[in-house]
Chain A
Amino acid sequence: METLLQQIVNGLVVGSVYALVALGYTMVYGILGLINFAHGEVVMIGALTALQTLLILMGVAPDMAPLLKLAIAVLVAMPVCMILGFLMERLAYRRLRNAPRLAPLITAIGMSFLLQTLAMIIWGRNYHTFPQLISTTPMQPIPGVFVTPVQVAIVIVSALVMAGLILLVTKTRLGRAMRATAENHRVASLMGVDTNAIIGLTFIIGAGLAAVAGVMFASNYGIAHYAMGFMPGLKAFTAAVLGGIGNLGGAMLGGIVLGLVEAVGAGYIETMTFGFLNSSYQDIFAFVILGIVLIFRPTGLLGERVSDRA
């Protein structure tokens, strides 16, 4: 029983990070129909920028409270990633908005390589130790189930950020403009919505979320590296598809479900298949679930049927 509960805790933590990254994919897809494969790299840039900030802070003000340091690092990483997100859209994707679908897709993949290489040039090939400023000493809320403060922080921060985003999209003028742009650019612009600004803003918000996810990821594992964004990016994209790409609630649900499926799958796949499959199939297991969901619900868990996008 403790093992199952522990696996659920593991899954929730990983799933929260996936969900936060998945939101970036899904927002961009919802508005542009573009899969921004470079989004995982924004996560990485966020983590490494925060690391750089922390290193500087530790040199300048070693006595500063750890949480304050982390807060400053996040506040530096977010604008850096937001600018990066904006520039990506402005320089790489805007010109291709009316091009055939494959062109922006390939551009996104190229952007991903470009960012990885740039990060490698700036931060080197080595793995960096990310200072764990939130305690990682485990607590046992239920005997036998270990939870660390950093894990609790990850789940809470993700939940708050996601709630804020939902409020933004559903309750504000800006959110209405975003939804209008998602539905139809041209009509939205005829109604007086500055669609270019809205699209730019979508990238900026997504990149800001990615920065937060990057810092959380690095704090949890105590590690940062120029290639660290690739796998979470891929998983988050999967989560977005699982939940129904283009749908905000779906991205969150998809992220959590994917995290849980991975953790529980890795823990029980061997018992369930009587030793035929083992934990090296952890990733495949997640994709099998994705396949099954898509067979029965081609638009994902919460996806709606939408007419073909421009």
Chain B
Amino acid sequence: MKKTGIAIAIMGLGFGLMSGGVSAADMVVKLGHVGPLTGSISHLGKDNENGALLAIEEYNAKGVTIGGKKIKFEIMGEDDQADPRAGTTVAQRLVDAEVVGVVGHLNSGTTIPASRIYHQAGIPMISPSATNPKLTQQNYAGVFRTIANDVQQGGAIGKFATGALGAKNIAIIDDRTAYGQGLADEVEKSAKATGGKIVAREFTNDKATDFMAILTKIKAQNPDVIFFGGMDAQGGPMLRQLKQLGINAKFITGDGACSGEMLKLAGDALSGNAYCTQAGLPLDKMPGGKDFKERYKKRFNLDVQIYAPYAYDAAAAMIEAMKVADSTVPAKYLPALKAINFQGVTGNVAFDAKGDIKEGAITVYQYKDGGWNPVP
């Protein structure tokens, strides 16, 4: 009780200082974080928030001085329930609370509409996990992400199919959603560019359960590799039906079906022929991964889920940019954020002209021993 009282007092003081522009010893600077903290993927949302929290706590402990003032960073955490409407509501709340930057949101579907609100308010945002290319194609100056996007993912899948898997003939299926179709188009481009031939391009939808007709058609084309752009709810039954039709081609799918749920839904149809990809690196492969894992565990007594290191780097990028610009004012540190280049937990953090991470990594997983294992 007493602690909260003090915190509120400090926050109040911080506000007073910011609005009054009076310099003093300690200044509170608030960063927003948004992710789903309720609902089916709330564990991922909390993981992201913890990642960002760990970053600011470490900077606070080290001590950051900007514009001659010692800065104390705070996280204002909001819940968007993975719902686009709730996403824009909490985005507005963060804008009203005058945060200087936002780490989030988690899903592409919530991040894209929310990004407009941050853009209009002139507040930079960095998503640690939204992979849809559209996010950065809006040409909003203050929108970044620390994770590879679906263009990079699709490119990697195409190259993996023609390269490591040695595929000549490739069949592509997508579920006609923005995500599935976008990813499938990138796979097609990249596979063609690396010498693959697209022998079939078939479509289904994100509510379908029967793929026998399109798979039968694909079978007649005798592909080496079948790619599916879509979610696990379709990917699982599709894999079962491949087996029922006696199709032995290798099967690759994107991050939407690269889940534990996919393992359940596909059941005994899974074999070493099944591959999937995830944006980003497994924690152990990240340059700062091992160390991060321990720090995270020590602080929260939890294991890292997926994106916490990306949220950590997103928060760190903002603070590093503020240090370079020697200002916490969004308009002043934004140019520094665009040009930021530092070694983060996940690798080198630097953004291209659109705001995408420059060296976005993609990891390919193969089904083995009951789970997805990174292909070495």
Check A262–B203 contact: CB distance below 8 A. Answer: no
- Whether A50 is near chain B, meaning CB under 8 Å from some CB there, is no
Check B213–A221 contact: CB distance below 8 A. Answer: no
- Whether B301 is near chain A, meaning CB under 8 Å from some CB there, is no
Instruction: Give the secondary structure class of B's interface.
Output: helix
Question: Would A225 and B233 be within 8 Å (CB), given that A136-B240, A280-B203 are in contact?
Answer: yes
Q: Within the assembled complex, what's the spacing in Å between the Cα atoms of A225 and B245?
A: 24
- Which chain A residues border B264 with CB–CB below 8 Å? 129
- Which chain B residues border A184 with CB–CB below 8 Å? none
Check A138–B217 contact: CB distance below 8 A. Answer: no
Residues facing A in B190-229 (CB within 8 A) are 201-205, 207-210, 212-214, 216-217, 219-220
Question: Would A14 and B219 be within 8 Å (CB), given that A126-B40, A136-B244, A227-B207 are in contact?
Answer: no
- Whether B267 is near chain A, meaning CB under 8 Å from some CB there, is yes
Check A138–B246 contact: CB distance below 8 A. Answer: yes
Check B236–A6 contact: CB distance below 8 A. Answer: no
- Which chain B residues border A230 with CB–CB below 8 Å? 207
Q: Within the assembled complex, what's the spacing in Å between the Cα atoms of A140 and B244?
A: 11
- Which chain A residues border B232 with CB–CB below 8 Å? 127
Question: Would A279 and B261 be within 8 Å (CB), given that A127-B236, A129-B267, A146-B245 are in contact?
Answer: no
- Whether B243 is near chain A, meaning CB under 8 Å from some CB there, is yes
- Whether B336 is near chain A, meaning CB under 8 Å from some CB there, is no
Q: Within the assembled complex, what's the spacing in Å between the Cα atoms of A125 and B39?
A: 10
- Whether A117 is near chain B, meaning CB under 8 Å from some CB there, is no
Number of interface residues of B (CB under 8 A): 32
Check A263–B212 contact: CB distance below 8 A. Answer: yes
Check B243–A136 contact: CB distance below 8 A. Answer: yes
Question: Would A10 and B236 be within 8 Å (CB), given that A126-B40, A146-B245, A227-B207 are in contact?
Answer: no
Check A266–B237 contact: CB distance below 8 A. Answer: no
Q: Within the assembled complex, what's the spacing in Å between the Cα atoms of A230 and B209?
A: 12
Convert A192-226 into 0s and 1s, putting 1 for each residue whose CB lies closer than 8 angstroms to a CB of B: 00000000000000000000000001000111010
Query: How far, in Å, is A189 (CB) from chain B's closest CB?
Result: 43
Check A266–B245 contact: CB distance below 8 A. Answer: no
Check A267–B261 contact: CB distance below 8 A. Answer: no
The closest CB in chain A to the CB of B239 belongs to A222
- Whether B43 is near chain A, meaning CB under 8 Å from some CB there, is no
Query: How far, in Å, is A256 (CB) from chain B's closest CB?
Result: 15
- Which chain B residues border A7 with CB–CB below 8 Å? 213, 216-217
Contact of B237 among A2, A223, A231, A264 (CB under 8 A): A223
Q: Within the assembled complex, what's the spacing in Å between the Cα atoms of A280 and B201?
A: 10
- Which chain A residues border B244 with CB–CB below 8 Å? 136, 138, 146, 148, 151
- Whether A282 is near chain B, meaning CB under 8 Å from some CB there, is yes
Check A266–B240 contact: CB distance below 8 A. Answer: no
- Which chain B residues border A125 with CB–CB below 8 Å? 40
Convert A120-131 into 0s and 1s, putting 1 for each residue whose CB lies closer than 8 angstroms to a CB of B: 000001110100
- Whether B265 is near chain A, meaning CB under 8 Å from some CB there, is yes
- Whether A172 is near chain B, meaning CB under 8 Å from some CB there, is no
Q: Within the assembled complex, what's the spacing in Å between the Cα atoms of A10 and B241?
A: 11
Contact of B202 among A6, A126, A136, A278 (CB under 8 A): A278
Query: How far, in Å, is B54 (CB) from chain A's closest CB?
Result: 30
Q: Within the assembled complex, what's the spacing in Å between the Cα atoms of A222 and B232?
A: 13
The closest CB in chain B to the CB of A147 belongs to B244
Check A223–B236 contact: CB distance below 8 A. Answer: yes
- Whether B168 is near chain A, meaning CB under 8 Å from some CB there, is no
- Whether A228 is near chain B, meaning CB under 8 Å from some CB there, is yes
Q: Within the assembled complex, what's the spacing in Å between the Cα atoms of A263 and B208?
A: 14
Q: Within the assembled complex, what's the spacing in Å between the Cα atoms of A106 and B209?
A: 28
- Which chain B residues border A228 with CB–CB below 8 Å? 209
- Whether A132 is near chain B, meaning CB under 8 Å from some CB there, is yes
The closest CB in chain B to the CB of A282 belongs to B213
Question: Would A267 and B216 be within 8 Å (CB), given that A132-B267, A138-B245, A227-B207 are in contact?
Answer: yes
- Whether A3 is near chain B, meaning CB under 8 Å from some CB there, is yes
The closest CB in chain B to the CB of A218 belongs to B209
- Which chain A residues border B358 with CB–CB below 8 Å? none
Question: Would A127 and B261 be within 8 Å (CB), given that A136-B243, A278-B202, A280-B203 are in contact?
Answer: yes
- Which chain A residues border B212 with CB–CB below 8 Å? 10, 13-14, 263
Q: Within the assembled complex, what's the spacing in Å between the Cα atoms of A279 and B171?
A: 13
- Which chain B residues border A263 with CB–CB below 8 Å? 212-213, 216
- Which chain A residues border B323 with CB–CB below 8 Å? none
Convert A1-41 into 0s and 1s, putting 1 for each residue whose CB lies closer than 8 angstroms to a CB of B: 01100110011011000000000000000000000000000
Q: Within the assembled complex, what's the spacing in Å between the Cα atoms of A266 and B264?
A: 28
Query: How far, in Å, is A153 (CB) from chain B's closest CB?
Result: 13
Check A3–B216 contact: CB distance below 8 A. Answer: yes
- Which chain B residues border A132 with CB–CB below 8 Å? 267
- Whether B176 is near chain A, meaning CB under 8 Å from some CB there, is yes
A interface residues with partner B (beta carbon < 8 Å): 2-3, 6-7, 10-11, 13-14, 125-127, 129, 132, 136, 138, 140, 146, 148, 151, 217, 221-223, 225, 227-228, 230-231, 262-267, 278-280, 282
B interface residues with partner A (beta carbon < 8 Å): 40, 176, 201-205, 207-210, 212-214, 216-217, 219-220, 232-233, 236-237, 240-241, 243-246, 261, 264-265, 267
- Given A127-B236, A223-B265, A267-B214, 18 more pairs with CB closer than 8 A: A13-B212, A14-B212, A126-B40, A127-B265, A138-B244, A146-B246, A148-B244, A151-B244, A221-B240, A222-B236, A222-B237, A222-B265, A228-B209, A231-B209, A265-B213, A267-B216, A279-B213, A282-B204
11 contacts between A and B (CB under 8 A): A3-B219, A7-B216, A132-B267, A221-B210, A221-B237, A221-B241, A231-B207, A263-B212, A265-B213, A278-B202, A278-B203
